[in-house]
Structure 1
């Protein structure tokens, strides 16, 4: 098995929204804001090469939205999904599976693109299965008013219409062991219903793709919960449970949204689970 970080593009989000009720005087220590209160955010996806399968976890925002739309997110840097795939020697047509932790636009936007004459949309990964789960798919396609602006139909319906949509099994508890894709999946409902956190066994290490359960290092303290979460009290419990597992079992936490920290480990302290070590993807994916 080989793992590759796929940097699909960087953007900025309001620091207050990213940390909810936590005062700026606390969160700015780890996530400094600019003059407009915006903090750096990455969309760091992960590619798994395992035998004849190439599994891409999440796809970033994509490039099909309007300049007005992207203007809200202050894009920075020159990374794109296709450019990052090419850096590692791959093309979108090589991808066999796209695993979506959830269907918010900054995780699923790169799934779909304009067709050649810009009259409609088509899947970017024409040879891939697109993986979600039945409960989250219903949640995303019949969205509540709180999340409606995050679930964009043009990001997700085209790969259902193309016949490429697949659903993972739903577990009886919060952990699905040895999924169809070859890795365990931790299910979390605090951010959005049935978000999926992959746990990948790689060279004797467990790599946890943290998605929005732990967006950045700055979110390690349990009460540091995003204002975007639909069930923040549930996030508290899920994050505490998962971080204790991570500290007990020395998980390597792959941070999708931390623009400056790629992979971390955590440890138990008197203040709770805190940062242990920080690694680059090159350190781990040798």
Structure 2
């Protein structure tokens, strides 16, 4: 197995929304806001290469939305999905599986592309993986998440019959080195892949812990549907991570890809930070 970090670009969101009830005087020290109160975030995906499969975990936001719609996310930087894949010797046609942690647009927007004004799967040879509970949640969104669940990002996949659902503990659908953890504080039934790699356990933490700065228990984004549940899930996961020496792989931290954890008098905090390629 080989793992590759795939940088699909950077974007900006309101810092207050990203840190919920935590005061700006605290979060601004680690995630400084610009003059519009926006903080920098990454859209970092993960590519998993096994003997016969090439699995992309999440896709980034893509570029098929209108210029006005994309302007709300302040996309910046030179990194793109295609450029990042190519830097590792791959293209979209090589992808056999796309694992969508959840269907928010910054995670699943590039699952579908526009070609000659027609919406088609971005990865022509891939099976797309979600789960039925989350899919139905996205199909009938609540008012808080409606702007994040855009049907053009996932319904074309179903029309092309390239979506499969992982329900229950059907971990045998993937190589034995990959298992799945479900969490529901951020959104219903978000899937976190847990990967055994070079004798280490790596967890793609998605929006359970968007950045290193979100490790403290109360640091929960205002976007989370069930913030108290997010806190409980994070508390349980962090203890599990410390006990089992997990490595966390961050999707949204603009600077840090991976970290290990340690228990301190203030609770669980980062130990070491490093790039995935340095493992």
Pick the TM interval, shorter chain: over 0.9
What is the aligned partner in structure 2 of residue 7 from structure 1? 7
How far has the Cα of 1:215 moved from its partner?
0.3
In structure 1, the partner of 2:40 is 40
Whether 2:252 is the aligned partner of 1:254: answer no
Looking at structure 2, the residues matched to 219 and 36 of structure 1 have their Cα atoms a distance apart, in angstroms, of 21
Choose from 223, 227, 239 the match for 1:228.
223
* Alignment correspondent of 1:205: 200
Q: Per-residue deviation at 1:49?
A: 0.3
Distance in 2 (CA, whole Å) between partners of 1:246 and 1:196 is 16
> TM-score, normalised to structure 1's length?
0.95
State the Cα deviation string for residues 97-138 of structure 1 (Å, max 9, x = none). 0000000000000100112x21x2000111100000010000
Map 1:39-78 onto structure 2 (within 5 A): 39-78=39-78
Alpha-carbon distance between aligned partners in 2 of 1:150 and 1:179, rounded to the nearest angstrom: 30
**How far apart in 2 are the matches of 1:64 and 1:237?**
36
How many residues align? The count is 277
Aligned equivalent of 1:271? 266
The offset of 1:282, in angstroms, is: 2.1
Return 5+ residue gaps in structure 1 as ranges.
none
1:27 aligns with 2:27: yes
Alpha-carbon distance in 1 for matches of 2:109, 2:65: 9
TM-superposed deviation, 1:179:
4.1
TM-score, normalized by length of structure 2?
A: 0.97
Corresponding position of 2:233: 238
Matched position secondary structure for 1:76: coil
**In 2, are the aligned partners of 1:30 and 1:217 still within 8 Å (CA)?**
no
Instruction: Give per-residue Cα distances to partners, 1:181-227, cap 9 Å, x unaligned.
Output: 22111110000000011100001100100100000011011000000
Deviation at 1:72, TM superposition (A): 1.0
Give the corresponding residue for 2:173: 180
Match of 1:219 in 2: 214
Superposition misfits of 4+ residues, deviation over 6 angstroms: none
Q: Residues of 2 paired with 1:261 and 1:32: CA distance?
A: 15
SS state at 2:154 partner: helix
Alpha-carbon shift at residue 169 of structure 1 (Å): 2.4
Distance 2:173 2:261 in 1: 29
Matched, 1:150 2:148: yes
Match of 2:110 in 1: 110
